[in-house]
Amino acid sequence: MASLLTVAAVSAAQPLRSGIDKTNFDPRVRPQDDLYRHVDGRWLEQTPIPADLSAYGSFTVLTTDAERRVHELLERVLNEPAQATPQARKAAALYASFMDERAVQESGLQPLKDELARIDTLQTPADVIAWFGHAQSIDINVPLRWYVQQDPRDASAYLPGVTQGGLSMPDRDYYLRDDARFAGYREQLRGYVSQLMQLAGDANAASSTATIADIEQRLATAQWSRVQNRDPVATYHKLDHAELVRLAPALDWDRYFSGIGAKVAAVNIEQPSYVVAVAALLNEVSVGQWRTYCRYRLLDHFAPYLPEAFGQLHFAFHERALSGTQQQRERWKRAVALVNEAVGEISGEMYVATSFSPAAKQRMQQLVQNLLRAFGNSIDDLAWMTPVTRAEAKKKLAAINTKIGYPDRWRDYAALRIESADLVGNVMRASEFEHRRQLAQLGQPVDRTEWHMTPQTVNAYYNPSMNEIVFPAAILQSPFFDERADDAVNYGAIGAVIGHEISHAFDDSGRQFDGQGNLRDWWTEADARLFKERTAALVAQFSAFSVLDNQHVNGELTLGENIADLSGLSIAWKAYQLSLAGRKAPVIDGLTPGQRFFAGWAQIWRRNFRDDNLRQRLSVDPHSPDMFRVNGPVSHIDAFYEAWSVKPGDRLYRPPNERIHIW
């Protein structure tokens, strides 16, 4: 085949650099023993976590920069409104409403008056379930959470779904684990609830706290684990109205859908046993107690937009207690975060106009094509896969769509009303706007141009129902991509990220969807068995990793990301080799091409964590902690052994027969 092109964009007069910051290296640590600490050790030791963050690393640095740029753009619109578009002025008005502390303080709880009054009218379990439906129009986290997405088994159509929710803490584990640390989180939750209810004028805060804690505990007990929820087959139960009634006859489904504002023929119930438990709980708990719970859910959600005392309480529990963050973020940062969350495609359009060039998009497109071609070659070379399954895999790979930078069509927010002195109202109306947008999708053709991340997000994703990989503009920067650097580091960094997202199409979950995005088993029984044997070994490897007080990584929860890291890095190496077209790459900064490639991988994952944040990630994050994302995959890649002369006795050494090769 024709050789792949290089991706470094530099002038002939400007020599290539390695792209590796060797000042971060820790020479006390051998790369053969711990590549992560060798490449990032000094950075990890010398870089404190800012007081207003719970973790800090390469992603955070770029996110902070994107946040600063959006802030400057919003301030410019406020100072020169005549020069801005109507959409930009709307985003700036939302930002201004958050920054108007005086108006927020003077408003007190008045902006929630109508919603609190609505809760006071609840008299029956049917009223409560109707409120659950209504509350989602203003984005309140309730026990039965509604959403609209593509039908997993028919990617050409939208299907509403219902999933579990209604908890204050990140996961059911926070309620169910019996060790002292998690018992402490539960006590802190009770303290937060009590103070919040008192601040809102509840004369019976102690009783209310007991009620709320009991309801959340019972909800958590009924919920499915995150590992169970990763299974797209186990969480698919498409039911029509009659089947919903048979599943949970005590639950007034008509009132629920009426509260949502939807008329549906069918709905996907992700966790049927949980829905049955909620239906029972609606009748076991008195309506008065449910009113208390609903008031709390309303107050907890809007606390960051209420007077400062509410915001500080919310921060003290959700950020300091649960994540270890020491200091509330500056108000302008919180204002920018709201804009990015509520009208992110407005601020995103502003961001890319000043921060993302057509040339950058072209380079990224070239990288993606290189990785896709290398992945195709790898599928051809798989010794463990039969021709039938291999052919289906190639069809799926060929069908992957790529989105880079920003949407082709920006979202129109003309119907959204924003008032510069009505923060809570703006937050409500923005949520209602998004709720109506999703409802309007039902019965319509699937919008394949839609993005689920904003351009200023430093991340990327694979969507199995769309069979697409998506790379927002903000991630195409150093250390992920350096246009002045040699190709080796770029393939090891952004190339491996691209390979990671492609690999999600073939991880333990994504592999169950076909090239059109339908949940369909296209594997032979023998191939599926061999795949599971390889992934079981990966589960065992990562489950053995531990941090903090000997808390282990959940190898099953993180399996999909671990597969994608291993496969993505392996494919990126192959793509890099193809790009050389037989040429010998030079040694730069004392590093061989292979060393630069793997150092490029290691340096994008440098990150320091606060203990509570790391503990939270072990419970809820499908990604392994960063040190394991570096060291775990490289121990299976033969090229790593060659690059760093890894030998038996080195800590990262694995005998060849124990190295896992999936894609």
pTM for the predicted model, two decimal places: 0.95
> How far apart are alpha carbons 619 and 558 in whole angstroms?
10
Residue 580: pLDDT over 90: yes
Q: How would residue 363 be classed by pLDDT, with cut points 50, 70 and 90?
A: confident
DSSP state letters, 310-334: HHHHHHIIIIIIHH---SPPPHHHH
Delimiting residues of CATH 3.40.390.10 domain(s) in the chain: 359-407+446-658
Residues 6 or more apart whose Cβ sits within 8 Å of residue 111: 302, 306, 422, 423, 424, 425
Residue 7: pLDDT over 70: no
Classify 537 in phi/psi space as left (phi over 0), alpha (psi -120 to 50) or beta.
Answer: alpha
What is the predicted pLDDT for the residue at 357?
85
Q: Work out the mean pLDDT of the chain and round it to a whole number.
A: 96
- pLDDT digit string (tens) for 597-647? 999 999 999 999 999 999 999 999 999 999 999 999 999 999 999 999 999
Helix axes 525-543, 559-580, angle to 10 degrees: 100
Phi/psi of residue 403, each to 5°?
Answer: -120, 130
Delimiting residues of CATH 1.10.1380.10 domain(s) in the chain: 124-305
What is the predicted pLDDT for the residue at 93?
98
Identify which of 502, 541, 532, 533 has the alpha carbon closest to the alpha carbon of residue 624.
541
- pLDDT digit string (tens) for 104-160? 999 999 999 999 999 999 999 999 999 999 999 999 999 999 999 999 999 999 999
What is the predicted pLDDT for the residue at 549?
85
* Residue corresponding to tokens 């690999």: 503
Residues 6 or more apart whose Cβ sits within 8 Å of residue 92: 74, 77, 78, 81, 84
> How far apart are alpha carbons 168 and 303 in whole angstroms?
13
Domain 359-407+446-658: which topology? Collagenase (Catalytic Domain) (3.40.390)
Q: What whole-number percentage of the chain has pLDDT above 70? A: 98
- pLDDT digit string (tens) for 289-340? 999 999 999 999 999 999 999 999 999 999 999 999 999 999 999 999 999 9
Domain 124-305: which topology? Neutral endopeptidase; domain 2 (1.10.1380)
The sign of the torsion formed by the CA atoms of 321, 326, 327, 333 equals negative
R_g (Cα) of the chain, nearest Å: 26
Mean pLDDT of 533-561: 96
- pLDDT digit string (tens) for 159-195? 999 999 999 999 999 999 999 999 999 999 999 999 9
Mean pLDDT of 256-274: 97
Residue 35: pLDDT over 90: yes
What is the predicted pLDDT for the residue at 641?
98
Residue 10: pLDDT over 70: no
Phi/psi of residue 622, each to 5°?
Answer: -75, -5
- Any idea what the Cα angle at residue 132 is, between residues 129 and 135, rounded to 5°? 150
What is the predicted pLDDT for the residue at 15?
60
- Whether 394 and 495 have beta carbons less than 8 Å apart is answered as no
Mean pLDDT of 266-295: 98
Q: Give the N- to C-terminal CA distance of the chain in Å, as an integer.
A: 20
Residue 378: pLDDT over 90: yes
Tokens of 482: 């350096």
Which residue blocks in 80-122 are alpha helix, DSSP H?
A: 86-99, 101-107, 113-120
Task: Report CA dihedral (375, 380, 386, 387) to the nearest 10 degrees.
Answer: 120
